[in-house]
Structure formats: structure tokens, C-alpha cells
Amino acid sequence: MSISFDSALGIHEKALGFRSQRAEVLANNLANADTPNFKARDLDFASVLAAQADKSKNGSFSLATTSTGHIAAEGLDNGDAGLNYRVPTQPSIDQNTVDEQIEQSNYAENAVQFQASFTLLNAKFKGLVAAIRGE
């Protein structure tokens, strides 16, 4: 009998990847806090989770070409699903929408959620190892 990691690990693997990607986006926002006209962005977990659930339920997305002139949509994956611009709370003279306090608190919150996802994933792997050893 083989072990399916998709069913054994559940959503925890995807959640860990999402948290890692969100950390990169938030770090980019903080790095560009003094860049004029920079627009802060953030990932929306609910929309990314819904997109992943839809993808796993309906399979991968594909388009049918009805003419030889159509461009094939190979590798079409909306990598920006859930990546939205942040609405600023205070106007800035240089049109930068990064609020350092909000970005730092979001980064800290994301770090805690990353650690929680990592702990849950680690517990799943420990359970799998215990099942394989017969403990």
C-alpha cells in the first residue's frame, strides 16, 4: 500500500508555501518603504485557498483553441491570485502606500502563522513515521 502525501499532509503543505510567499511580499514592502510611488501589496489567504481548492476539485485549468491562429495557453497559472494592492490609511506626499507599522505587524503575524503551519506539518510527518515503523 502506498502513501499519498497529498491526502496525508492535507492543506498544511500549501499553507506553508503561502506563508513563505507572503513573507517575501511583506519583506519587499518593508524594503521599499522609502521608494517614491511604490504601492504596497499583500496576499489574501482566503482567495488563494479558494483558488487551490477549486484547482484540486476541478483539475488544472486549460483553454481550448478553435483556430490555428490562437495562442496556446501553456503553463497558464495565475501566480498573482490573491496578490492585491494595499489601501493606504494615510496619504503620502510621495505616493508611497507602505505603512511600516502595519507591514511589521503583518510580518510578525505571518511569522507566527508560518510557525503554526510548520508545527502541524511536522506533526503529520511524525505520525507518518510512526505509522511506517509500526509504533
Could you read off the pLDDT of 85-130 as tens digits, one per residue? 988 888 789 999 999 999 999 999 999 999 998 998 898 889 888 9
- Averaged pLDDT, 64-82: 61
Which residues have C-beta within 8 Å of that of residue 114, sequence separation ≥ 6? Answer: 16, 19, 20, 23
Residue from 42, 36, 14 nearest 106 by CA: 42
What distance in Å separates the CA atoms of residue 46 and residue 54, rounded to the nearest whole number? 12
pTM for this model (two decimals): 0.73
CA distances from 53 to 14, 49, 77 (A): 10, 6, 14
Question: For residue 74, is pLDDT > 70?
Answer: no
3-state secondary structure of 41: strand
User: Residue 57 has what pLDDT?
Assistant: 73
Question: For residue 24, is pLDDT > 90?
Answer: yes
User: Residue 101 has what pLDDT?
Assistant: 94
Residue with the bigger pLDDT between 77 and 3: it is 3
Residue from 105, 96, 102, 109 nearest 33 by CA: 96
Residue with the bigger pLDDT between 33 and 64: it is 33
Residue from 3, 16, 17, 26 nearest 119 by CA: 16
- Averaged pLDDT, 5-32: 86
